Amino acid sequence: MKWNERFTRIALIFLFTVLGFAVMGYHPGLEDDGIYLPAIKADLNPALYPNNAGFFRLQVQATVFDRWMACFIRVTHIAVPWAELLWQLASLFAVLWACHGIARRLFREPRAQWGAVAMVGAMFTLPVSGTALFLMDQHLHPRNVATALILLAVAQIMNNQRWYAAALLVLAFVMHPIMAAMGISFCIFLAAALSETVPVRLRALRSRTAAAVPLAWIIEPANAGWRKALNVHTYYDLYKWHWYEWLGAVAPLALFWLLWRMARRHNQPLLARFALAVFMYGAFQQIVAFAMLSSPALIRLTPFQPMRYLQLVYFFMALVAGALLGSFALKSQVWRWGLFLLVVNSGMLFAQCEEFNASPHIEWPGRQPSNPWLEAFAWIRQNTPVDAYFALDPHYWAAPGEDYHGFRALAERSQLADAMKDAAAVTQVPELGPEWERQVAAEQGWSTFGLADFERLKRDFGVDWVLVALPQSTGLDCRWHNRELAVCAIP
């Protein structure tokens, strides 16, 4: 590739990265960042989180993400918020770079290639049916980094650079083992589909992988706390999905089967083989999901969430849809491209603004929070002792105006277990179950708590601070409040 072509490619992908970022928004501390961000901060400052750190520490043991980020921050001296933003943008750029590389192999026309990039960039926050996933998270997540590495590996396989692909998949695995396992599975099917002896390779692949389906490891009784935490997240259970979630799982596979047939008929062998790989990967992973989730004896495998294989399928669906639009509908008409970009990006922007309507669409580092909950978290971070141990509404994530921001991630203080995100940690680390159940039970009836209840939490768990709704209970030593919340010490 000539230098001017490479520069044009970099510039356009950067522009689509910025556009995609502006559409999807940015919310540090959101959802799973309530686990990974405290882990990074605890690596940098071990004095943080002297209580209940197991609810995020144990879950991140399978990844090097927090240690890698902490190392990057120490070496570069970039502040944590800016480092997270930098790697979020880098992950988005790498995804679009990989998608362009894949599209270049599948489609000859530049307009198809850029249609693929434009569609994927607009669809970063496309929900993946039934899995509680977006294509990319609105905060830095090891899954974002792993997804970028997986897609780069797919592009390398398309270029017959399989050793590079293997190295990228290893990096993805140490970032996010579950998503990397899905990526490795797809890359095996892709490599087989690109082989000249596709039928023979697929038969051999089927016989080898059938023996590797995880059916019997870790069969042991699940404690009551673990089962209770599992029930908090119904999307784990394949058999509780709604019909439209099933449609969202099955329809993409049917579309790739049709694409395979059509590409063969129109003499596009590489596109046909790619579509066949996606279809075979999806069909195989669906069988694995049924096998893992069909028997009560295998309930401990549920948190592996095998249906999350759909994330890659949805990525490729967006890529192919954008390429076909670029090739057959948008063509070289500037006004068509402008209308397409306006419609697809504004629709996704509207959805994100509605979903997080109490918070700024992009929460820039250093920006003064306007959300009452984020105001409270910021005051706590700046004005309470590092070893302060807080209790707050166990369902605070879903409180009006909270927008699913994590207390530990943003307040940087220890917290009594909550009933929602800590439940997800319990499903991954069952030994946390009994203590989680005990702490959440002690917080039942939070909205009616009086001084005696807060004193009981202090006596039983060592909690010495609370974040409560106004008007606060009498008898508490309240140090700060805004229009909705108060930060108080327990006497």
Whether residues 164 and 225 share a domain: the answer is yes
Coil, helix or strand at residue 307? helix
Whether residues 321 and 376 share a domain: the answer is no
Whether residues 325 and 376 share a domain: the answer is no
Name the domain boundary from 331, 354, 389.
331
pTM score, whole prediction: 0.89
Name the domain boundary from 331, 350, 380.
331
Q: Which two tokens stand for residue 118?
A: 């434009």
pLDDT score at 239: 63
Per-residue pLDDT of the chain (491 residues; tens, 9 = 90+): 577 888 889 999 999 999 999 999 999 999 999 999 999 999 999 999 999 999 888 888 889 999 999 999 999 999 999 999 999 999 999 999 999 999 999 999 999 999 999 999 999 999 998 777 899 999 999 999 999 999 999 999 999 999 999 999 999 999 999 999 999 999 999 999 998 665 444 444 444 444 333 333 233 455 555 445 545 555 556 666 677 777 888 899 999 999 999 999 999 999 999 999 999 999 998 888 777 766 555 555 555 677 889 999 999 999 999 999 999 998 888 999 999 999 999 999 999 999 998 899 999 998 888 889 999 999 999 999 999 999 999 999 999 999 999 999 999 999 999 998 888 888 777 888 889 999 999 999 998 999 999 999 999 999 999 999 988 777 899 999 999 999 999 99
Looking at the domain assignment, is residue 278 inside a domain?
yes
pLDDT score at 475: 86
Q: How many domains does the chain fold into?
A: 2
Contacts of 333 (CB under 8 A, 6+ apart): none
Neighbouring CB atoms inside 10 A of 124's CB total: 24
Whether residues 301 and 402 share a domain: the answer is no
Whether residues 126 and 193 share a domain: the answer is yes
Provide the pairing of β-strand 133-134 with 414-415.
unpaired
Looking at the domain assignment, is residue 44 inside a domain?
no
Q: What's the domain range around 304? A: 3-30+78-331
DSSP string spanning 333-348? -HHHHHHHHHHHHHHH
Torsion, Cα of 54, 369, 142, 281 (10° steps): 120
Whether residues 285 and 188 share a domain: the answer is yes
Rounded Cα–Cα distance for residues 49 and 360 (Å): 27
